[in-house]
Structure 1
Amino acid sequence: AKRDLARVVELDQANGAGKRELALVKKKIQEHKAKSKKSFANLFERAGGVYDDREREKEEKAAKKRREEEALQQAYDQEKGRREEAGEAEISFKDWKEQKEAAEKKAKEEEEAKAKEQRKKEREARRKERREEKDELELDEDDASLMKELQRGYCYFRRNQSAEEKSLIGDIAPKKVGGGGDGPSTPGGHGAASMGAASPASASSGSASAWNSDGTTWEEKDCSVWARDTLESMLQRVTVAGEDHQGASVSAKVTKVSKVDGDASVAVVRGKARYLFDLSAEMDYEIELEEQGAASGKKYRGKITLVDITNDALDDMEVAVVPKGAAVPPNHKPQVDAVVQDLRNEIKAKCIPEFAAAFQTSQ
């Protein structure tokens, strides 16, 4: 249209209508070009925005590194000047930096050791306090009297009775309980509480042994092996999965339970069963993150330690997570941190309470 109108005006210079139409067409073409230019400019701005955060992050890291290097150089210059004034031997920047890093590392390790020892003392104090409170709440007057007698110890003096004594008080010779005979108890019989590796079922009936039918003696059965094996099996099955807002699939699971330590037992006092355990555990975990369109997923590993798994204070259990291997890149860190927290919650809020319930209800 522009070419045709231009040809008309060229042939007829007095054609005013043709000139007006030509001017209008030129204006429309300019407006269209301006609009197209603006659209393409916005498109490139949006595409460039994808990389803005990464570039900004690189610049911030570079600026931080420069500040640290400047501060380090300034500290070295001060130390160099101090040595000159004191008449001490000169030290190179490299040697000074290595000594400084070694001193900082040692100080950090000492601080961590002190903090760890302090946490241990606090845990022991809390456990002692809980035991004392538990004893005060659970032991009635008869139980307290019985415990005092046990602390003083029992003595049995064997002697032959005379005929007159037997007629007065009867035969007091020890007899086998529940065996149907009149002979004395034999080792391995029912004359003592079993302390083997029992399961909770062997003591969860709420009743004492035949020799302790009146329930006045504290009877305790060891369930440590059952508890350690069961907790290990339950932890080994822990797994969580999720999907972040960008569509990346991320999951975490316990790959290996390396250690479960501690004790567990069922105590029966006055016909009432009490389920006691004090355990700890260590395990390895693995996180797998798969991004859409990626040829293969990324894997990150670490270690989880559980401390103070006790029957009377599950909420006080400590969960420590330590990553291992390659560091998590910044673009994956939010997803990895989120799934690690989910894994912690799965262990603390679900797996451990389920173990405690199984300990009390297992038959």
Structure 2
Amino acid sequence: MDEVEADAPPLMELVRRAEACKEQGNEKFRAGTIAEARQSYEEGLEQMKTAEDKGCLKSGKDLSALVGPEVGAKNVALSLHLNMAACLNKQEDWAASIRHASRALELDAASSKALFRRGFARTRFGLLDEGRSDLEAALRADPDNRGIKRELKYNTQQQQRAKKKDRENFKGLFAGSLYEDKEEERLRKLREAEAKEAELRVEYEAEKAAFEASKAPSGSGAGEDLQAADNDDGDAAEDVPGAAEDAAEAAASTEAPPVAEPEASAEEDAMDVDGQAAEEVDPAKEVDPAMDVEPAEEAFPDFATWKENKKKEKEAAEKAKKAEQDAKKNEAARKKDEERRRQKEERRRTAKATSDTKAEEDDDLEAGTASDLRGYRRTADGKVTTYFNNELSEEAKKLIGDITPQRVDPVAPAAQAPTPQRIASDSSQKKGSAWNAAGTWEERDMSDWAKEEFEKQLEAVTAEKKSSLDQGNILDALHGISSGDLGNPESLGKMLAIMQNVDIRITKVKKVDGDASITLVRGKPRYIFELTAEAEFEAVLTEMKPEAAISGVPSGEEAETKTKKYKGTLNLPDISSINPDEECPCHCRLKRGPDAEHKHAMDEALQEFRRNVLLAVDRFSEEFKQK
């Protein structure tokens, strides 16, 4: 067990203080002052924090493996966490209660109290499945505990309520129709139809009222006289008391006298006589007096008939409108065709007139004089041509000579064959192909060669760190090592590195990927490559005896004391020609770290190995530029 720091109290003192805080908290808990009890337990846990940092209370450490005060410290910490969980459950601080109960379970995984109190808190916190798991584990540890059984029953009830609530929440999820959108569309159309029907009903009532008003008889003079007579009778009745009653009785008792038919006038008699004289009346054609009545008045149609008539009128109007539009389109198309034919005929007549005019002009030119040519002239042979037509004179023809195309012989005579000349080629011409003598643009793929060449360069990389045990190196290694610092691993590593040899070599090149090409642009070659490589290497470390290193014996059974091998990987993720001045990344890693006494020597050897890898990259670049 580690020693306690000088300023920290001993473990027994920490346990005693924590035990006192626990007892105070228990008294306050029994008294019902939960907040004060919680404060006491927190003070006890603060006292135990130092003991936990000492390592005796780490998670997973078995109580049976502890002795002395360590057992007491762990037991006190366990009790404090359990009591804190109980207080927090009383205060309904479920999250903090779960945390302290979990800490108690880290100290004692089989504690039924910790499982019960964490299951209690988890159930109230809503973690029903986790709470049930804790309560079932607590019941297995303490089968006779009625509190655990009661809480497990409550957990079951809560789970049933939660499932029922979930079913209710998801009950109406698919209650709606699968065609709800179509149903809404149908209802919308139905509402629109009802609104349209109401509008038609209003229009129908308006037209019906107008029709009935137009058919009502207008007021006559007889009505006005009757009203005036009523008014006169009324006035008389008001003037003479009892006259109204007497008039009513007289009207009720007196019967209306028979109405005598009016006698025909002399004119009507004359008309009858003339009619009989003009035409004999056919008895069969006489009009029945019963049929001699006025025709019945036309009644306004009902709503259904009126709506049907409106529909027919609307369809007839739309049909007439469509017919009118079609007639307009046909008329426009007819006019367009006529215009096209007219223009075609116009062009034909114009072309014919132009042809006739040109023929007439040619005839006029043939028959006209020089003054009538107007931009034309006659050649020496009498032909008419334009003013700008050039006619070579005999002197000009002699100067030009014979320009008739001549046949070229396929093989020139030997005397006229050109002699081959050697042309000195420069570096830019050497890079181009025969077909690209101008050196405009050319690109050659060098990927396969570059991968093979770089793999060869990597396989040849080695590094060596030799022992150097002489007086100067010994003094440098011992410099700064005081008498009390001989156990420093760094100082010992520097001392031991003087007597150690390290050889590093590539054992396998795992892969080399990438592209490489030579591009010729305007006669200048450009060398472009972008590669990645991975390899495995082995480092062999040999420790030399001091007397062998001083005497200069390089190897052998007398010189070697111990040999150890380390394996590692080399990774070159970005080998590129884009930035030649920048150093490409090179990662050298050992699969297993070296021992402390070998670390210094291995670091020096790996640095040398890394430098040699970068030199191999430079050599590859130079070889590439020579292609």
Pairwise same-fold verdict (TM > 0.5): no
Which category describes the TM-score, using the shorter chain as reference length? Answer: 0.3 to 0.5
TM-score normalised per structure 2: 0.27
Larger fraction in strand: 1
